[in-house]
Structure 1
Amino acid sequence: MDWFLDAFKYKYVDFSGRARRTEYWMFMLFHVPFIFILAFLSGMMDEAEWMNIPMFLLVIYFLMSFLPALAITIRRLHDTGKSGWFYLLAIIPYVGGIILLIFTVQDSESTTNKWGPNPKTPNTDEINEIGKPLSD
Structure 2
Amino acid sequence: MRAFFQYFENFFFRAFNFSGRASPLEYWCVMPLIWIVILALLPGDAAEFWSSLLARQIPPLNPLYYDSILVFVLTIVPRLSLTVRRLHDSGKSGKWAKLPFIAIFSSITLALGIGSALLTSSVAGNEAVLGLAVLAALVMGSAESAWDGIFAAAIAANSLGWDVIWATLSDMTGGMPKPQLAQGVGDLAQSVKSDPGIGIPAILVTTLMVCTPVVSALLHLMFMLAPTKYEEDGFGGMLDPAPMRKTGGSSAPGIKRRDPLQSYACLFERSPEQEAALKVRQKQELKDLYRTRVLGQG
Provide TM-score, normalisation by structure 2. 0.36
Query: Are 2:90 and 1:83 aligned?
Result: no
Residue of structure 2 in register with 1:132 after alignment: none
2-side partners of 1:58 and 1:42: how far apart? 7
C-alpha change, 1:5 and 1:39, in structure 2 (3 Å) is: farther
Secondary structure of the residue aligned to 1:107 is coil
Residue of structure 1 in register with 2:190 after alignment: none
- Structure in which a larger fraction of residues adopt helix: 2
How far is the alpha carbon of 1:12 from its aligned partner? 1.4
How far is the alpha carbon of 1:68 from its aligned partner? 0.4
How far is the alpha carbon of 1:110 from its aligned partner? 2.4
Q: Which moved more, 1:39-48 or 1:16-25?
A: 39-48
Q: Which moved more, 1:23-32 or 1:65-74?
A: 23-32
Please, which runs of 5 or more residues in structure 1 have no aligned partner? 126-136
2-side partners of 1:81 and 1:48: how far apart? 49
User: Aligned-pair RMSD on alpha carbons?
Assistant: 3.0
Task: Please identify the structure whose Cα radius of gyration is greater.
Answer: 2
2-side partners of 1:37 and 1:85: how far apart? 30
Letter matched to residue 27 of structure 1: V
Secondary structure of the residue aligned to 2:75 is helix
Secondary structure of the residue aligned to 2:72 is helix
Provide TM-score, normalisation by structure 1. 0.74
Identity %: 26
Aligned length: 122
Secondary structure of the residue aligned to 1:45 is helix
Q: Deviations over 1:3-40 (max 9, x none)?
A: 224311x2111111110011111111321101111123
Please, which runs of 5 or more residues in structure 2 have no aligned partner? 53-58, 104-212, 234-238, 245-249, 258-298
Letter matched to residue 109 of structure 1: K
How far is the alpha carbon of 1:83 from its aligned partner? 0.6
How far is the alpha carbon of 1:81 from its aligned partner? 0.7
2-side partners of 1:15 and 1:117: how far apart? 19
1-side partners of 2:39 and 2:90: how far apart? 28
2-side partners of 1:38 and 1:111: how far apart? 41
Q: Which structure 2 residues correspond to residues 35-50 of structure 1 after superposition, within 5 A?
A: 35-49=38-52, 50=59
Query: More relative contact order in 1 or in 2 (CA 8 Å, sep 6+)?
Result: 1
2-side partners of 1:82 and 1:101: how far apart? 13
